[in-house]
Structure 1
Amino acid sequence: MTSPTPEQDRIAQLEAKVAELSTRDGGLSGRLTKLLKLMPWLMASHFLIGAPALLISLGVAYATFVQAEATRKMQQADAWPFLSYGTSNVNEKGERVISLVLSNNGVGPALLGPIEIRYQGKPVRNPVDLLRKCCGPDGIRGLSMSTSPSSDIVAPPRESINFMQIAETPANKALWSRFEKERWKLQVRSCYCSIFDECWVINGAQSRPQAVKQCPTDWVRFRER
């Protein structure tokens, strides 16, 4: 009978140790069984410990979001423009002057975009074009009027822009009288934006601004000259 080799001796020793461990304290399988039974309780305990921290983190994140949103709205409200169109036939001195006016009644600057004026449904391109279409060519030669830019400028809060003014004179009295009546038939719309790139369109006097993503590009712009 041959003697065992060194490799066989080592294998036999390992088998003996495994057998000893399997019989000690209920055996390895018993330990594993106990550990598996305790696993759900261990997981539940970890969850109970971590749940309050998770809830606190979510609450802090939500409060931060709400505060940031409130701050953003307050900043926008502090810079909110409110544009309106109007017309008058007497200036602050009591003189007979017809004015077409854009007024910023808001608390922030208004970045004025395009303005379009229509008479009898058709756009007019400038003051002379307007007067010719509404009131005839008589009296336009030598007519004195004042104009101001009404687009691509900034209208400060609580200020007005008289973008077209015609003072009554003996030479233009007939034309002035016709325009004084026809000015109510003008369809005026304008677009403006805030410093936060929020834009609105107004259509006519006392109209409520309508929010738009950006100012229209297909209007026939009214030019001052």
Structure 2
Amino acid sequence: MIEPTKLLKPQNDPAPRWFHIAVAASMVLSTLSAVYSSMKTSAAMQALVKENSRLVLASSTPLLQLMSSNYDGNKPSLSFKVTNDGNGPARIVWFEMRSEGRLIKSLREEVRGDAKEATPLSLYITTSTIAPRLISPGNSVTLFAWDQPAASDTAALKLWQQFDRQGRGKISVEACYCSVLDACWISDLDGDIPKPVERCEAAGKTTVKG
């Protein structure tokens, strides 16, 4: 008679100590790997956001410059022009003009100088409001333009020549302007790097008038 094979029950002996240590170490390494990967991803995202912000700012940054000339096309003409050579629109908040440190309130008065108001002068001067104003990139605003008077108008011609030789080169400006993203700068508009500021405040500033 054939006896049936007896099935042996597995023993309930605990796993060896090294096995538990290996499992625990594996879990710790897995957790550390996940944390490291998360940190690397976060750093990469932050770098990407920073680079995108830099590109957006660079693509919307204005750069204003003051151009002074005594000739326009084919005729003698004194002029001051403000050009935007940057990549974004410039919102001019205030614009001060000085002559050797002295504040200029009006270019017409500056040109007239010590000439008496009663003196008949044919001052055919074109002026434009410079602040507050928005200048698009690549565009310019003629702040002041004065064609050379005719030789017969001796009084006006004398003033024109005097301002060309002595007055125009003494002019300096300081302006505060902002981008469309409300990044703001103060600049003397002579090619130096503009100074970043938190905001532009027109209070207490005297913007030059025509």
- Tell whether 2:176 aligns with 1:191: yes
Pick one of 60, 76, 87 that aligns with 2:68. Answer: 87
Map 1:37-56 onto structure 2 (within 5 A): 44-56=25-37
Q: Which has the higher helix share?
A: 1
Kindly report the root-mean-square deviation, in angstroms, between the aligned alpha carbons of the 2 structures: 2.8
Structure index of larger Rg: 1
Distance of 2:54 and 2:140 partners within structure 1: 26
Q: Any idea what SS the aligned residue of 2:80 has?
A: strand
Map 1:1-225 onto structure 2 (within 5 A): 44-92=25-73, 94-133=74-113, 136-137=115-116, 141-170=121-150, 171=153, 172-181=156-165, 182-203=167-188, 205-217=190-202, 218-224=204-210
Identity of aligned residues (%): 22
Q: Which residue of 2 aligns with 1:9?
A: none
Cα offset for 1:179? 1.1
Q: Any idea what SS the aligned residue of 2:207 has?
A: coil
AA partner of residue 80 (structure 1): T
Structure-2 change in CA distance of 1:103 and 1:140 (3 Å): farther
Distance of 1:140 and 1:104 partners within structure 2: 37
TM-score, normalised to structure 2, is 0.79
Distance of 2:52 and 2:189 partners within structure 1: 33
Q: Which range moves more in the overlay, 64-73 or 124-133? A: 124-133
Cα offset for 1:124? 1.5
Whether contact under 8 Å (2:112, 2:159) holds in the other structure is no
TM-score, normalised to structure 1, is 0.74
Q: Any idea what SS the aligned residue of 1:77 has?
A: helix
Q: Which residue of 2 aligns with 1:6?
A: none
Q: Any idea what SS the aligned residue of 2:199 has?
A: coil
Which structure 2 segments of 5+ residues have no match? 1-11
